[in-house]
Structure 1
Amino acid sequence: MNVPLGSGTIDVRLPDCEVTVADPPGGDSVDVRAAAERALEEPLGPPLSARVDPDDDVAIVVTDITRKAPDDVLLDVLLERLVTLGVAREQVTVVIGLGLHRPMTDDEIEAMLGPHADLAVNHDPESVREVGTVDGVPVEIGDPVADAETVLSTGVVEPHQYAGFSGGAKTVVIGAGSESLIRYTHGPEMLAREGVRLGRVEGNPFRETLDAAGDLVGVDFSLNLTHGPTGVLGVRAGAGRRVVRELAAVVRDTLSVPIEREFDAVVCGVGAPKDGNLYQATRGATYVALGDRNPLKPSGRLVVPAALPEGAGEGTGERRFFRRLRDADDAESLYEEMREGYEPGAQRAFVVARVLREHDLVVTNSQAPEVVESCLMRAEGDVSDAVEPGSDVLVVPDALNTLLVEGR
């Protein structure tokens, strides 16, 4: 069977094992441009024309290289609509929502945004201003967004470990925000709260905090899509909360796979861009083990094929993640230590440590095995080297876009 690795695939052969493949039912794909144009014509809430004036300076926050989204198409559709509303191209700034990830290079920006790359600036988390508080926590936003009269966003509504699903206000308040909100939302107290889990929107305190912060920032209009194994499954535009909920319903129906028994090992496919570094690639393992239904037996093994051309990762959050895991003696002591608090970005180490307390995590086929070995994980050359003969194995080809749920 084929499993993603980088921008290609590898052929996984486990002849001595019983293998089950978790393939979501999928759905009919849509043409992104046509669906985006239709979404603008039929918005969820007030139309874009009610949100922007011809004289407004407009900020459009887009996702960065760690997200798989046709931002060039979504941006092009938004810019065309803004022109028809009297907003000149020169009035628009495109802000790349980095959060605490590394800045994108000029070549990467051009590859992502095409003819609109000249409008783009990397978010600078050091150049922010406060716009209010949520739960007593300062909500700070980057200057280009704070200076704009109208704030728009593109993005992807996909399963998210904490927010339930990404998209909506998250692209702006996290991607173009500061450490203050990231520290609060990604801290041990928030992540331990009931309702903060993969695939849940309603009653999720993490999601509710992001939406409240979006109200303070003034996120006026979102154009989001969701995708599955067959491609883009839907596009919605309008009020961020409604956009996220509608697309979450679409993706939940198409990505859920019932699990009726436990397995010795799970192979978690990730692929580009998420397997560019260890920080992002470990999502494959944590999404599986900490989702609605953990499919592993006690002490079962997670196997993640990942290219890792950037090693652990180069951004602030990625470096903090790496240091925490590298300097730890074992997963249990690291988990207990981090329950007392940690710096923004290190939350991924906290979640990985939580999984490593119960399961081995083996990263295969990578360009940085020494980085993997230094982070309480094991490195192997190939998936077959990481799975013991005779194992009962579940293969999840797209672990980040598959929701494992309790079998009926």
Structure 2
Amino acid sequence: MSKTVELAFGRGQLTVTLPAAAEPTIIRKTPLPKIADPRAAVLAALQAPVAAPPYAELVKNRRSACILICDITRPVPNRLFLRPLVEGLMAAGMPAEQIRIVVATGLHRANEGAELEELVGDPWVLQTVRVENHYARNDEDHVDLGPTARGTPVKIDRRFVDADLRIVSGLIEPHFMAGWSGGRKVISPGVAHHETIRTFHNARFMEDPLAIQCNLVGNPLHEEQLAIVKKIGEVYAVNTIIDEERDLVFVNFGEVVASHAAAVDFVTDSTVIKYPRRFKTVVTSSAGYPLDKTYYQTVKGMVTPMDILEPGGTLIIASECSEGFGSPEFFDAQRRMVEMGPERFLATLKAKSFAEIDEWQTEMQMKPMRMSRVQLYTTGLDAEERRVTGVEIVASVDAAVAASLHRHGDPSLAVIPEGPYVVPVLGAHG
């Protein structure tokens, strides 16, 4: 009798039918209790911050404020905390025109119109204060704070640098380069100049063995992000964690580094899941909407399960890619990788101090390609886009799974329904 599993796909689920003889291991995060009253939890976090005075005290006598929010690629529950933040500022006497919310796009596209409304999630906020996008390529929009010790030029959006009160907000989830998302990452790359982003995304950083998901110790990207925060000065953060249903399970507020570390401590044990063996067949997703809107973001789902993938095995990933590739620059990087071959392409990257925009994602994709057969199921890419993915396109996840199990002569497989939001690692349970 066949079995079925559900993968996050677009705004819904993709049902995968497994062969009768298949022996699936379903890998999910350890469930965390939902917060019954999310708005009350936000207010409580503002009243009892991490390494900071209560919010009502913090905002007194401030002349201006800039609040950073993540772009549409992250399902951050902005609707829960933006209004309390703004209301607190206005209650302390700050005029609405001195409050800015900036979408930390990094090098992603701007979020406008209905998409911006969805992102903010609260019409009152949009009607009350300015909500603007960051543009990493606009030189005049950035303040040059000088290089870090590693030589990264630090140029940050002046709206954030010049604000009297600086707040970032985000989602604490695994990140395949920087260890964990949120906190300091919302600043850089979030509101950094393209030269800043392109420097600490060059091959010197990307190929470092410590630049991996869920690792902050010795991670050069994380350390560079902390160095950038230090140059900016006083920064605070709202950190959120959500479950598979996108419901809030954690929120805190406080000094950006300390509060982010506390949130990471809270979520690590439920996100990093140890398994005592590797699998020759791994089936995963790009975590569904909004992460799987583009092929660019899909790469994260390919990299995350590498620790439990048997070298020479098969990695099958499902991603809708409803918006196509993600950027012209990423498309060009993929085209060069396909036409030059991975080894020659990587050699060109190692010769650069400035990475070309988005080619670091191609560099990350080559990591699972080196060790396994990578197969992609998608409904959103055209023929040329499918060619330059550089991976094998499959018409059916069901058929790809059956073929992989037969090819490897092993009925066992790992299924990761929520893709890069859960990190399986090789190790003993417990």
- Residue in structure 2 matched with residue 271 of structure 1 by the alignment: 288
- Residue in structure 1 matched with residue 152 of structure 2 by the alignment: 137
In structure 1, what is the Cα distance between the partners aligned to 2:298 and 2:115? Answer: 20
Report the residue type matching 1:207 in the other structure: H
- Residue in structure 2 matched with residue 188 of structure 1 by the alignment: 203
Q: Work out which of the residue numbers 376, 379, 396 in structure 1 matches 2:390.
A: 376
Report the residue type matching 2:255 in the other structure: A
Q: Confirm or deny that 1:255 pairs with 2:255.
A: no
- Residue in structure 1 matched with residue 414 of structure 2 by the alignment: 394
Q: Confirm or deny that 1:301 pairs with 2:314.
A: yes
Report the residue type matching 1:108 in the other structure: E
Q: Show CA shifts across 1:37-89 (max 9, x none).
A: 11111101122345434451111110000111111222112112222322232
Q: Show CA shifts across 1:245-295 (max 9, x none).
A: 111111111122222222122111221111100000111111112xxxx11
In structure 2, what is the Cα distance between the partners aligned to 1:392 and 1:65? Answer: 36
Trace 1:76-87 onto structure 2 (pairs within 5 A): 76-87=83-94
- Residue in structure 2 matched with residue 4 of structure 1 by the alignment: 8
SS in 1 for 2:389: coil
Q: Confirm or deny that 1:33 pairs with 2:44.
A: no
Question: Superposition RMSD on alpha carbons, in Å?
Answer: 1.9
Whether contact under 8 Å (1:152, 1:219) holds in the other structure is no
Report the residue type matching 1:134 in the other structure: T
- Residue in structure 1 matched with residue 81 of structure 2 by the alignment: 74
Report the residue type matching 2:320 in the other structure: A
Report the residue type matching 1:232 in the other structure: L
- Residue in structure 2 matched with residue 403 of structure 1 by the alignment: 423
Trace 1:8-407 onto structure 2 (pairs within 5 A): 8-16=12-20, 17-30=22-35, 31-47=37-53, 48-49=55-56, 51-113=58-120, 114-115=122-123, 116-118=125-127, 119-125=130-136, 126=138, 127-135=141-149, 136-229=151-244, 231-269=247-285, 270-289=287-306, 294-313=307-326, 318-328=327-337, 329=339, 330-341=341-352, 342-368=355-381, 370=383, 371-387=385-401, 388=403, 389-390=405-406, 391-407=411-427
SS in 1 for 2:346: helix
More deviation, 246-255/367-376:
367-376
Report the residue type matching 1:308 in the other structure: C
TM-score, length of structure 1 as denominator length: 0.93
Whether contact under 8 Å (1:145, 1:151) holds in the other structure is yes
TM-score, length of structure 2 as denominator length: 0.88
Whether contact under 8 Å (1:166, 1:244) holds in the other structure is no
SS in 2 for 1:201: coil
Whether contact under 8 Å (2:330, 2:357) holds in the other structure is no
**Once superposed, which parts of structure 1, at least 4 consecutive aligned residues long, lie more than 6 Å away?**
none
SS in 2 for 1:141: strand
Q: Show CA shifts across 1:201-229 (max 9, x none).
A: 23322212112211222352111112233
More deviation, 359-368/43-52:
43-52
- Cα 1:213–1:51 shift into 2, 3 Å: farther
1:309 offset after TM fit, Å? Answer: 1.2
Q: Show CA shifts across 1:130-161 (max 9, x none).
A: 12321232211113223322211111111111
In structure 2, what is the Cα distance between the partners aligned to 1:208 and 1:8? Answer: 37
Aligned length in residues? 400
More deviation, 192-201/355-364:
192-201
Whether contact under 8 Å (1:39, 1:237) holds in the other structure is yes
More deviation, 115-124/235-244:
115-124
1:334 offset after TM fit, Å? Answer: 2.4
Structure 1 gap segments, 5+ residues each:
none
In structure 2, what is the Cα distance between the partners aligned to 1:106 and 1:404? Answer: 38
- Cα 1:178–1:70 shift into 2, 3 Å: same
In structure 2, what is the Cα distance between the partners aligned to 1:369 and 1:305? Answer: 16
SS in 2 for 1:96: strand
More deviation, 6-15/47-56:
47-56
1:244 offset after TM fit, Å? Answer: 1.4
In structure 2, what is the Cα distance between the partners aligned to 1:82 and 1:343? Answer: 40
Report the residue type matching 1:157 in the other structure: I
In structure 1, what is the Cα distance between the partners aligned to 2:269 and 2:248? Answer: 14
- Cα 1:208–1:51 shift into 2, 3 Å: farther
In structure 1, what is the Cα distance between the partners aligned to 2:392 and 2:234? Answer: 43
